[in-house]
Structure 1
Amino acid sequence: MSSDETYEHTSLEAARWLVSLEESPDDQKLKDEFERWLSEDPTHREAWAATSGIYDLMGPLFAKERYSSGTQSCKSGWRHRSVSKRILYGVPIALAAAVANFMLVPDYYYRLTADYSTGKAQQMTVKLADGSEVSLAPKSAIDVVFRREGGREIHLLRGEGFFKVSHNPGRPFRVTAGKISVTDIGTEFDVRVSQKASAVAVRSGEVHVDGDNHLSTDLHSGQRIERRGRGIVSASHEDAENIGAWATSGQLVLEDSSFGDAVTQINPYYNGRIFVANRHLSAGKVTGVYNLSTPESALKAMADTQGAKLYHITPWIIVVSY
């Protein structure tokens, strides 16, 4: 395991301890186990200090009220925090991942297992054996399955890809992403997948989309379809030239997008993590064209439309709040 991987693993452990101690502050057995973990390696104490310290810095930005019902110190410096569940609705778990600057499935996992992958603020264009081309957005990964005779298949494991397909009726080109499958009928198209949704948009030509719950439809230039949790499917139209603009011109084009979704799209281009402090801000609407080569400036421009500000907690964490 490399030093970077060791750091990510130790930070993940520290984040998990943070969540466990927040959820069970009176569990003496848990505290004893935590103390043993701290004493096992100096890097454990360093990771804990960074994780819990940033948690304290970020807390006020996620809530206007925060109170403590006393301080109980242990030799590790962990303090019993009594935080209102109404205020910090589920924030500890998300924050645990944030302060360690990683995701539950780290980038190196995809570097080891995927055929092609990108990390934070990285993009890649792949020329496939059949002449087709795939542009990968940051934090994206694909597996390529090309059979000598028969179909061509791409598995979009995470993130976003823009596909320019060399059409061959005798060898169907198919992209699977989450619970949807996209079959090329001679086209350029964009596919995005996340834990919450899968989306397909066609820049030119035509694709066929299949999915669970009897999803089966053709999409043409300028059409988009998105499948969210519980099988909810929504369809929309947009300017075809804006589809895949992140790959063709380095721009993020938003039209009446929620601020939360806009931040989700720009987050991979920033070499750190961006968080929105409250639900009301996330629900605000954003329209505009933003330069992805300068993600922080783009984020500030988006925040200005909402009357919000950027708070730099560390060089690699930004919180957007009123």
Structure 2
Amino acid sequence: MTELKHPGSASEWMVRLSEEPENSDLRRDHDAWLSLRAENRADWEETLHVWHMLEMTIPVYGAEWEHHLQGNTPQQDRISTPQHLRPHEIRGRKHERPASFLQTGRTHRFATWRQTSIGVSVAAALACLLVVFLPGWVTQFEADYTTATRETRVIALPDGSTLHLGQQSAVSLNFADQRHVTLLEGEAFFEVEPMKDAPFIVTASDVETTVLGTAFNVRRGAFGVDVAVEHGHVRVNGPTMAQGADLRAGDVAHIAPNGQTTRQTVSPALVASWRNGKLIAKDQAFAEIIETVDRYFDGWVVITDPDLARTPLTGFYDLADPKAALKVMADAQGATIQEISPWVVLVSPR
């Protein structure tokens, strides 16, 4: 059970109601919260909508909650028959991705380690942060465009395509004799101008994505590369992908550092939700989600336990306040947050 006494957002209510579906007092308080402000109802409707687009399981009483949407939401946006599966059951599933959470990427600022004592942990954190932060300076010299914490940029490319560069991200361009972008760090969304005889290529680590004209998102981090398609068609190739992979609207491919590839499908409307300040996760490792949150935070977020880092999480979070989003995520995982300084936050099991 979470420690939240009075949830302040729809995401928090979703967690609480999922954990205590038989709690009539909690459900009554939820109804009161919905009636208190129009913004609360709008927040709840949006969360249910996203939950549905993610094809998530929803709480046992989700069918009853659907009446809050009646008259306000188009029929296709309403919740279908829910599966009676709760978040703690989702979190208990074995995650399919490799549990290589102690490695760090070339420009990665995020780390996990097994905590022995708080004094040793803080010292280890500072040393680890120094090691993973210094290589990031090298990236700045390689990049043509970079962004800082909570900064995004929209860049018009020489071929007429548009590049949306996410927080703490970096790219280099080669448009002299081809259309080639290298994602050095972070995340980018591309709206590609169609050119039949000139493929548009994005390279991230050892993964190459080739398109003719489409809109898609690429994310590069310590846990691999993710490619998600909003519309159109892309071809993804990697060193261990003999046949490659064809992705279409709503398809998401994750290529782990060891080359293992997993795929899932989401609503195309959820692709690159970071452009609207939202973080949408579907059965992703907690550490991988925290890596994204870290780009919005003036400092470092450190998970102290590898098992916690591996635990999958599904949710919809507002990154306007990254510390608040981090607290909601930690509550959902049964974890606690400790601020060592204004720049270092530890996430630990309870």
So what's the TM-score if we normalise by structure 1?
A: 0.67
State whether structure 2 residue 148 is matched by structure 1 residue 103: no
The one-letter code matched in structure 2 to 1:192 is R
Over 3 Å counting, the alpha-carbon distance change for 1:166 and 1:138 in structure 2 is same
| 1:111 shift after superposition | 3.1
| 1:259 shift after superposition | 1.6
Over 3 Å counting, the alpha-carbon distance change for 1:151 and 1:65 in structure 2 is closer
Q: Do the aligned partners of 2:198 and 2:212 also contact (CA within 8 Å) in 1?
A: no
| 1:95 shift after superposition | 4.2
State whether structure 2 residue 173 is matched by structure 1 residue 144: yes
Q: Deviations over 1:141-171 (max 9, x none)?
A: 1111113xx5311011111111111111122
- When the two chains are superposed, the root-mean-square deviation of aligned CA atoms in Å is 2.4
1: CA distance, partners of 2:319 / 2:182: 25
Q: Do the aligned partners of 2:149 and 2:167 also contact (CA within 8 Å) in 1?
A: yes
1: CA distance, partners of 2:339 / 2:124: 20
Name the SS for the 1:183 alignment partner.
strand
Name the SS for the 2:195 alignment partner.
coil
| 1:185 shift after superposition | 3.0
After alignment, is 155-164 or 282-291 more displaced? 282-291
State whether structure 2 residue 206 is matched by structure 1 residue 197: no
Over 3 Å counting, the alpha-carbon distance change for 1:215 and 1:141 in structure 2 is farther
Report 1:18-97 matches (<5 A). 63=115, 95-97=126-128
Name the SS for the 1:111 alignment partner.
helix
Instruction: Indicate the residue corresponding to 2:158 in structure 1.
Output: 129
Over 3 Å counting, the alpha-carbon distance change for 1:210 and 1:62 in structure 2 is closer
Q: Deviations over 1:108-160 (max 9, x none)?
A: x333331001233322221112221111122211111113xx53110111111
Over 3 Å counting, the alpha-carbon distance change for 1:288 and 1:195 in structure 2 is closer
Please, which runs of 5 or more residues in structure 1 have no aligned partner?
1-60, 67-80
Identity across matched positions, percent: 32
2: CA distance, partners of 1:254 / 1:178: 22
Report 1:222-241 matches (<5 A). 222-241=250-269
Dislocated runs of 4+, deviation >6 Å: none
2: CA distance, partners of 1:264 / 1:143: 22
State whether structure 2 residue 256 is matched by structure 1 residue 256: no
2: CA distance, partners of 1:233 / 1:94: 31
Q: Deviations over 1:13-57 (max 9, x none)?
A: xxxxxxxxxxxxxxxxxxxxxxxxxxxxxxxxxxxxxxxxxxxxx
- Equivalenced residue count is 236
State whether structure 2 residue 254 is matched by structure 1 residue 221: no
Instruction: Indicate the residue corresponding to 1:22 in structure 2.
Output: none
Report 1:253-292 matches (<5 A). 253-292=280-319
| 1:252 shift after superposition | 0.4
Q: Do the aligned partners of 1:101 and 1:272 also contact (CA within 8 Å) in 2?
A: no
2: CA distance, partners of 1:194 / 1:158: 7
Instruction: Indicate the residue corresponding to 1:117 in structure 2.
Output: 146
Over 3 Å counting, the alpha-carbon distance change for 1:212 and 1:104 in structure 2 is same
Instruction: Indicate the residue corresponding to 2:58 in structure 1.
Output: none
When Rg is computed on C-alpha atoms for both structures, the one with the higher figure is 1
The one-letter code matched in structure 1 to 2:288 is D
Name the SS for the 2:148 alignment partner.
coil
| 1:101 shift after superposition | 9.3
| 1:209 shift after superposition | 1.2
Please, which runs of 5 or more residues in structure 2 have no aligned partner?
1-112
Q: Do the aligned partners of 2:235 and 2:247 also contact (CA within 8 Å) in 1?
A: yes
2: CA distance, partners of 1:226 / 1:235: 6
| 1:97 shift after superposition | 3.2
Larger relative contact order (Cα-Cα within 8 Å, sequence gap ≥ 6): 2
| 1:208 shift after superposition | 1.0
Name the SS for the 1:167 alignment partner.
coil
| 1:94 shift after superposition | 5.7
| 1:271 shift after superposition | 1.0
| 1:178 shift after superposition | 0.9
